[in-house]
């Protein structure tokens, strides 16, 4: 059968799954596409859930990735509330909760991740979670956020902006440890403190109750709302039950294929070898979801190109726009360009002399130029960044 006529089933109707369907049609795929979802709503974007959606500046309609009319016009069947319950690799079929069985020539796992739960605390992953939190942010509600990662800090920023008394507790000695360098994390925490949020580091939680959080050191924090932002767990059960390799995510090769060549995995659920770092990673970002989806769609249609996109990410808190080009975890040296006191600066992160990535706070042009430089495979020496008069603008980007 011609590649563009093959039957494609995508499990997970989130950012990545939706993009697989869109990219397939954009690239001329003519065969049947079924997008299997389980949230009971049209595919939507999650980033506003911890930002403008909580303040009411964005409503549910603004989150929708593609209207029903798009899927109808492009002949994509979207099942909003009929989760996949098993995969039979030998008959190449997927069974749904309703009993329906979908045959596939290509199967894409885009099952994403679920928030790690902490008994007594609420989480923020889905639109249903965000609606629940919005309702619980009644005037005067005291908020405790457990975990100083991006989702927790974004939620804290919104709650504080709405006038709530907010405490953030983090078990580790610094915020955002998995995602950004120390100078960027320190700036973000300082901004929260400046705005009146209590940020407690080295503060592991002992117990969570409906009305309070107790820390291991005996501190008691009264609360009307406790939110845990303590990371996610990739949704890998279907893959695991189907005998596919799982290692903090569904293991895929350079083409985002599992060991079964008919099954691909993309987005938050996929563990892949990152060209930028040379290590196996599982990333949680819109860029990763969208670019991996486009790569898999191209692969289904016969492209032999591996996945090589540069990772990037952003976070909005108060008036701070934090943008990260590359993966900066594992840096052993940072050079700060610009003055953090002005609220506009970039942190160049190196391992040895190798530039891993650039974190920019309210310097979008640095972010754009850094992406261009890193995508082109270009580098920079720490001494160049530290030199007087350095500007990314005057740094040549090598031709690929
Ligand atoms: C509050 C919040 C804020 C964020 N902010 C940012 C940001 O500022 N910038 C950024 O880059 N990223 C951000 N992210 C991360 C980004 O949203 C994710 O990386 C992205 O949504 C991943 O897309 P995905 O399709 O892989 O997974 P998901 O969006 O999680 O979609 C997976 C879907 O699959 C469904 N599913 C799972 N199992 C089954 C099954 N068996 N059958 C059917 N369906 C199933 C799930 O219910 C879900 O709907 C944020 C995430 C959250 C939660």
- Testing ligand 1's pocket by substitution, the residue of 82, 176, 289 carrying the most ligand atoms inside 8 A of its CB is 289
The pLDDT of residue 297 is above 80: yes
Beta bridge partners of 178: none
Among the listed ranges 38-42, 276-280, 332-336, 348-352, which one has the minimum average pLDDT value?
A: 276-280
Contact 288, 267 (CB under 8 A): yes
Q: Which atom of ligand 1 lies nearest, measured to the CA of 316?
A: 8
Tell me the best of 20, 63, 112 to mutate to test the pocket of ligand 1, counting ligand atoms within 8 Å of each CB and taking the most: 112
Q: What does 38-100 look like in DSSP terms, one character per residue? A: -SSS--B-SGGGGTHHHHTSS-HHHHBSS-HHHHHHTTEEEESS--EEEEETTTTEEEETTS-
Does 106 score more than 90 pLDDT?
A: yes
The pLDDT value given to residue 22:
98
Indicate whether 396 pLDDT > 80.
Answer: no
- Euclidean distance between CA atoms 106 and 265, whole angstroms: 11
Residue 5 confidence (pLDDT) above 70: yes
Residue whose CA lies nearest to ligand 1 atom number 15:
285
pLDDT digits (tens, 9 = 90+) for 360-384: 999 999 999 999 999 998 789 899 8
pLDDT (tens digit, 9 = 90+) per residue, 6-48? Answer: 999 999 999 999 999 999 999 999 999 999 999 999 999 999 9
Instruction: Give me the sheet containing 270-274, strands edge to edge.
Output: 250-251, 270-274, 279-281
Q: Which atom of ligand 1 is nearest to the CA of 16?
A: 25
DSSP string covering 276-334: TTTEEE---SHHHHHHHHHHHHHHHTT--PPP-PPPEEEEEETTEEEEEEE--TT-SEE
Atom 23, ligand 1: residue with shortest CA distance: 15
Question: Best of 284, 314, 316, 323 to mutate for ligand 1, by most ligand atoms within 8 A of CB?
Answer: 284
Least confident among 67-76, 220-229, 311-320, 389-398: 389-398
What does DSSP say about strands 232-234 and 113-115: parallel, antiparallel, or unpaired?
antiparallel
Query: From CA 283, how far away is CA 266, in angstroms rounded?
Result: 10
Q: Which residues line ligand 1 (CB under 6 A)?
A: 11-17, 36-39, 46-47, 49-50, 83-84, 110-113, 124-125, 151, 235, 238, 267-268, 284-287, 289, 313-315
Residue in 49, 158, 268 to alter for ligand 1 test, most ligand atoms within 8 A of Cβ: 268
CB hemisphere CA count around 343 (13 angstroms): 9
The model's confidence at residue 400, banded by pLDDT at 50, 70 and 90, is low
Q: Is the pLDDT score of 399 beyond 70?
A: no
Number of neighbours of residue 20 by Cβ within 10 angstroms: 32
d(CA 383, CA 249): 38
Mean pLDDT of the chain: 96
Atom 3 of ligand 1, residue of closest alpha carbon: 47
Among the residue ranges 252-261, 272-281, 287-296, the one predicted with the least confidence is 272-281
pLDDT bucket at 278, cuts 50 / 70 / 90:
confident
Read off the pLDDT band of 398 (50, 70, 90). low
Report how far ligand 1's centroid is from the alpha carbon of 209 (Å). 28
Give the position of tokens 């907010």: 166
Mean pLDDT of 169-183: 96
Ligand 1 center from residue 110 Cα (angstroms): 9
Cβ-proximal residues to 192 (8 Å cutoff; 6+ apart), any chain: 153, 156, 157, 160, 168, 199, 317
Cα 268 to ligand 1 centre (Å) = 7
Instruction: Tell me phi and psi for residue 178, to 5 degrees.
Output: -75, -20
Nearest residue by C-alpha to atom 31 in ligand 1: 14
Cα 49 to averaged position of ligand 1 atoms, centre (Å): 11
Confidence of residue 389 (pLDDT cuts 50, 70, 90): confident
What is each CA distance from 125 to 64, 299, 397, in whole angstroms? Answer: 15, 30, 38
Quick one: which atom of ligand 1 is closest to the CA of 266? 26
Give residue 126 CA to ligand 1 midpoint distance, Å: 8
Residue 303: what pLDDT? 95
Instruction: Give the pLDDT mean for 330-354.
Output: 95
pLDDT at 200 over 80: yes
Between 276 and 332, the more confident residue is 332
* Cα–chain center distance at 61: 21
Averaged pLDDT, 214-238: 98
For residue 85, which atom of ligand 1 is closest to its CA? Answer: 41
**Looking at ligand 1, which atom is closest to the CA of residue 313?**
11
């Amino acid at each position: 059968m011609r590649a563009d006529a093959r039957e494609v089933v995508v499990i997970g109707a989130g950012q990545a799954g939706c993009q697989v369907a869109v990219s397939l049609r954009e690239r001329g795929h003519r065969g049947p596409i079924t997008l299997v979802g389980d949230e009971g709503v049209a595919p939507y974007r999650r980033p506003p859930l911890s930002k403008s959606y909580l303040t009411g500046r964005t409503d549910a309609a603004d989150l929708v990735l593609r209207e029903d009319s798009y899927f109808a016009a492009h002949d994509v069947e979207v099942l909003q509330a009929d989760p996949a319950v098993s995969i039979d690799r030998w008959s190449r079929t997927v069974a749904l909760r309703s009993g329906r069985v979908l045959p596939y020539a290509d199967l894409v796992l885009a099952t994403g991740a679920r928030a790690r739960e902490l008994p007594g605390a609420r989480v923020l992953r889905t639109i249903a979670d965000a609606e629940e939190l919005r309702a619980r942010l009644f005037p005067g509600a005291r908020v405790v956020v457990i975990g100083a990662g991006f989702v927790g800090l974004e939620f804290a920023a919104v709650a504080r902006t709405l006038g709530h008394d907010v405490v953030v507790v983090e078990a580790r000695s610094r915020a955002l440890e998995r995602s950004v360098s120390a100078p960027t994390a320190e700036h973000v925490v300082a901004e929260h403190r400046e705005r009146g949020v209590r940020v407690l580091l080295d503060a592991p939680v002992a117990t969570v109750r409906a009305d309070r959080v107790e820390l291991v050191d005996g501190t008691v924090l009264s609360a009307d709302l406790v939110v845990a932002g303590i990371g996610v767990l990739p949704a890998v059960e279907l893959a695991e039950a189907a005998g596919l390799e799982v290692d903090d995510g569904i293991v895929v090769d350079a083409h985002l294929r599992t060991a079964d060549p008919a099954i691909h995995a993309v987005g938050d659920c996929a563990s892949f070898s990152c060209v930028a770092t040379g290590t196996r990673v599982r990333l949680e970002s819109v860029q990763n979801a969208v670019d991996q989806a486009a790569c898999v769609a191209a692969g289904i249609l016969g492209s032999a190109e591996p996945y090589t996109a540069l990772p990037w990410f952003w976070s909005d808190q108060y008036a701070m726009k934090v943008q990260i080009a590359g993966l900066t975890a594992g840096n052993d040296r940072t050079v700060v360009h610009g003055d953090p006191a002005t609220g506009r600066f970039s942190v160049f992160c190196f391992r040895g002399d190798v530039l891993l990535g650039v974190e920019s706070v309210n310097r979008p042009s640095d972010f754009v130029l850094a992406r261009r430089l890193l995508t082109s495979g270009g580098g920079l020496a720490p001494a160049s960044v530290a030199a007087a008069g350095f500007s990314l603008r005057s740094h040549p980007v090598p031709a690929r």
